[in-house]
Every structure is written in structure tokens, then in C-alpha cells.
Amino acid sequence: LDRFRVTHRLSTYTLDELKILVKQSAKRLHLTIDDEAIESVAQRCRFNPRQANNLLMLSHDMSVVLNGNSDEAAVNLKVVNETLESLGIDVKGLTPDDRQLLKTIANTFSGGPVGVDSLASTTDLDKANIIENIEPVLLRYELITRGLKGRSITKLGLEHLILTGEG
């Protein structure tokens, strides 16, 4: 950010900051949420506060559906897990598109390296979506590396695919 001729580097939120944010959002929205649910939402929001709030609200909505009454709609770990599982979001917060990209690098391109154009055409994912949304998360979790020749899956990436039953 270089507005007003001052350059600042913005950093991503830490897990502890995200837990505070989820707790504050729940309080502001008058939602009942336990500590395990707060932890799960914070871990699975892709280090994005807006995503954390979205996951919180989706979990509350699921709780209302499960309980049939918004007054009794407490958000707990079971509700968060059911909500995110129904959306295809795994324990790290990866979406089906994220895992598809990992699987494509691992299987179609033998672990890489592979360029973004090849990934986009092979997966039918938009190149801009890969670069702006998927790749930063996979790099942050150290599931892929990006070098001069393209993207390669890491040992952690392969282990995650195995963990989620997709490897």
C-alpha cells in the first residue's frame, strides 16, 4: 500500500488474531459459539477475515436448520464440521478447486514443475482465479512451491491429499 507516499506492507492475520475476530463477530451477531468451533472456523478460513465471518454465518444457518429454532442455534464443532463438509471444505480450509489443482500437479504433471497456463487448461479453472485465490493459499500452507519453471507439489501437499483421501 503506497497511498500518501508512505509505503506499508500488509501482512496476513495470524491464527490467534482470527480466533479473536471470530469470537468478536459471534458476540456482535449475538451467536452462541464454543471455543472448539471458534478454533475450527479460524483454522479453515484461509487466513481471510471475510471468509471467517462467512463460515461463521454459514455455520449458524446450519445450526438453525438442524435445531429448527434460531433461539437454540448454538454453533459448536459438530455444526461447523457438518457445514464445511457440506461445502467440500477440508481441515485446512481447502476447497474442491484447491484440491483439484494439487491432484493435477501430483498426478497429471508427475509432481511438477508445471506452468499456470497448463494448469488452467487441464483443470478448467480460470488462470486469474488460480493466481489470485488458489495459489496464495497453497503457497502459504507450503503445499506447493513456485519456481522459474512453474509450480511443484511438496511433500506436505502429497501428505494432505493422502490425509483427505484424494491422493
Strands (E), the chain: 144-147, 150-153
pLDDT for res 106: 96
Per DSSP, the three-state class of 71 is helix
- What does pTM read for this prediction? 0.86
Q: Could you give the dihedral angle defined by the CA atoms of residues 52, 58, 63 and 68, in that order, rounded to the nearest 10 degrees?
A: 150
Give the pLDDT mean for 35-54: 96
pLDDT confidence bin for 10, thresholds 50/70/90: confident
| One-letter amino acid for residue 25 of the chain | S
pLDDT for res 139: 96
Q: How far is the C-alpha of 59 from the C-alpha of 57, rounded, in Å? A: 5
Q: What is the mean pLDDT of the chain?
A: 92
Residues 6+ apart with CB under 8 A from 143: 102, 153, 154, 156, 157, 160
pLDDT for res 164: 82
- Most confidently modeled range among 4-13, 93-102, 156-165: 93-102
Strand 144-147 to strand 150-153: parallel, antiparallel, or no bridges (unpaired)? antiparallel
Q: How far is the C-alpha of 166 from the C-alpha of 153, rounded, in Å? A: 14
Is the pLDDT assigned to residue 2 strictly greater than 70? no
Q: How far is the C-alpha of 108 from the C-alpha of 134, rounded, in Å? A: 18
Is the pLDDT assigned to residue 138 strictly greater than 60? yes
Inter-CA distances, 88 with 67, 99, 161, Å? 22, 10, 14
pLDDT for res 3: 63
Per DSSP, the three-state class of 114 is strand
Per DSSP, the three-state class of 4 is helix
